[in-house]
Each structure stands twice: as structure tokens, then as C-alpha cells.
Amino acid sequence: MSDQYRENQILESLSKTDYLTLKDLKKQIFASESTIKRDIVKLEKKGLVIRSHGKIISASVFADKTIGLSFRETTEKTAKKKIANAAVNVCAKDGDVIFLDASSSAMFSVNCLTDLKDPIIITSGLKTSFLLSKTPLKFYVTGGKSINSSFSLVGQSAIETVNRFNADLCLLSCHGLSDQGYATDKSESENDLRRAMMSRSKRKVLLIDASKINKTCYNNLCHIGEFDDVFCDAVLPPEIMRSVKNFHLV
């Protein structure tokens, strides 16, 4: 049985359910656990699957078939909180106008943003907007078409809302950072909105945890060199670090 055939079988099995374990796949693929584990590592590097707490979930390359926010919140949760808090502490100041995308990384910045005086927040994240509603912060929601699995708002009306603001800062994330240094994602429409946020912001900040390094999804947001600041809990590969303007190791 070829490697490619097994990989296709794994992806087909994952497409029929929310997640599978290594033991589940061993029963379905009829290969050794060590062989399947190697296949999973290869698929993960390609950005096609994600592993978390013994679970393996499909990260489909089809447009807008994104990983549910509830799953992403639990993946590298501690790292994401530290990264988001560090970004706010370093980059944000009182009175700033701040864009937050719908990523779980940006969502974790809400608690720290409450320490600022009179910021204005604009977000495309439904769950982020819910958390903001529990604070005294002034905020706007972009509106637009909902992607239910990621609690995100996208589309032309969302972009038009973003274009009405002049922001001091945007806090964005992505699903993968390719070995060529591109921030990549599985949602073309979410990337379209992120580009609009970047174009209207004075300072562009990427929040990324170590699990996303050397992962390539089908849609490129931009090269990492287009960000003013990058916050991560691990050092990036040397060939990527050379393009980063300001790197912050959390």
C-alpha cells in the first residue's frame, strides 16, 4: 500500500466525522500504528489535518470549510492567551482604534484590552463580539455573511464596514505559516477581510503559535514581511526570521 493511498484513505475517513483517534484509523486503514502516525505527521505538515489531545481532525483545503472555533480555542490555548496579551501590552495604547479578526488568538486579547482607556474595537468575530459585550469597551461588529463553523463574518458588506475606519492597529492570525514565510489559511473569504483590515491599519500584527509553523494552507494572506510585528511562542526558522520586521518571542 503506497503512502499516497494511505493518506487519501485517512482524509476520506476524517471527512465523514468530526475527529478520529490513532486507534480508530488503525482499524480503518489496516496499517500499523507507527505507519499511520508517520502519515499523520506528513498530512499535518501539508496543513490537511490537525492533532490535538489525541484527536485528529480534518483541515479541509476547500474554501470556507474551516475548523470550528470551539476546537481551535482548545488548541494551544495557553500559548494563544500569552501571545495575545503580549501583543496588546506592546502594541496597543489608550484611545487606539483596533481591528480584531475572528481568530481564537485575537479573541483572547479581549481581557487585556479592558486595561486600556477608551479604545475602539472593530471585529469580524461573533464570539469575540459576545465577549466584548460583557465589557465596558466601545466596539463595532463588521456584519456580513456568517461562517457558522468559525463564528466569523465575511463578505463585501463586512469589507465595506472595515473600510469606514482608520485603525491604529490590527491583530490577526492564520491557520499556517508556510516554509516560505507566507501566512496561509483555509478560508479565502476570511483572508479577504484580513487584507482589508491590514490596508486600513497603521500597525499590522500577526499572532501565531508554534503549532502553525511550516504549515501551508491553500490560500495566502500575505508574506510575513508585510506585518510590522510578529508574536510567537517559538523562534521561527532562520530563513523566515530574516523577513520579520519586529519579532517578539513570548
The tens place of each residue's pLDDT in the chain, 250 residues long, gives: 577 888 888 888 877 776 788 888 888 887 888 888 888 888 887 777 877 667 788 765 333 344 455 555 555 688 899 999 999 999 999 999 999 999 999 999 999 999 999 999 999 999 999 999 999 999 999 999 998 878 899 999 999 999 999 999 999 999 999 999 999 998 999 999 999 999 999 999 999 999 899 999 889 999 999 999 999 999 999 999 999 999 999 9
Q: Report yes or no: 72 and 27 within 8 Å, Cβ to Cβ.
A: no
Q: Residue 118 and residue 30: Cα distance in Å, rounded?
A: 59
> Is the alpha carbon torsion for 54, 220, 150, 206 positive or negative?
positive
Q: Report yes or no: 109 and 160 within 8 Å, Cβ to Cβ.
A: no
What structural domains and CATH numbers belong to the chain?
Answer: 3-59 (1.10.10.10), 71-249 (3.40.50.1360)
Q: Which helix (H) or strand (E) holds 36?
A: helix 33-45
Is 5 exposed, middle or buried (CB count within 10 Å of its CB: 0-12, 13-18, 19+)? exposed
If you search the block for the grid coordinates 474551516, which residue do you land on? 66
Q: Residue 142 and residue 192: Cα distance in Å, rounded?
A: 13
Cell of 182: 507566507
If you search the block for the grid coordinates 459585550, which residue do you land on? 133
Instruction: Write down the number of H helices and E strands in the chain.
Output: 11, 14
